[in-house]
Amino acid sequence: MWRCLRDRRLAGLKFRRQHRIGIYIVDFVCVEMRLVVELDGGQHLERAGDDERRAGFLHDRGYRVLRYWNDDVLVQTDAVLEVIWAAVRDGDAAT
């Protein structure tokens, strides 16, 4: 995913990797669009409550969180990028 987001490769937007927001470190963020992209492995099945609190914290600070399973990113990279692009394009990321 980083290969696809780095160096302003998606819509010319600057994404940061492993960026701190408050007490959390998010996988990827576009600060300009207030958009967080999180990638989840199997360990997140057991931590759903933690993920909800984390998403709530980020949402309260004006971020939209898009969450994907690692397998989806690996197998359906283009589809994941299309959803991220749609969120950016439609301005949904700022809500």
Place of tokens 């759903």: 48
Tell which residue, 1, 8, 11, 9, has the closest CA to residue 89: 11
Cα(41)–Cα(24) distance, integer angstroms: 17
In the chain the domains, ranked by start, together with CATH numbers, are 2-94 (3.40.960.10)
What single-letter DSSP state applies at residue 69? E
Judged against a pLDDT cut of 70, whether residue 48 lies above it is answered with no
Tell which residue, 26, 28, 44, 42, has the closest CA to residue 81: 28
- pLDDT grade for 49, boundaries at 50, 70 and 90: confident
Judged against a pLDDT cut of 80, whether residue 42 lies above it is answered with no
Hey, what amino acid is at 32? E
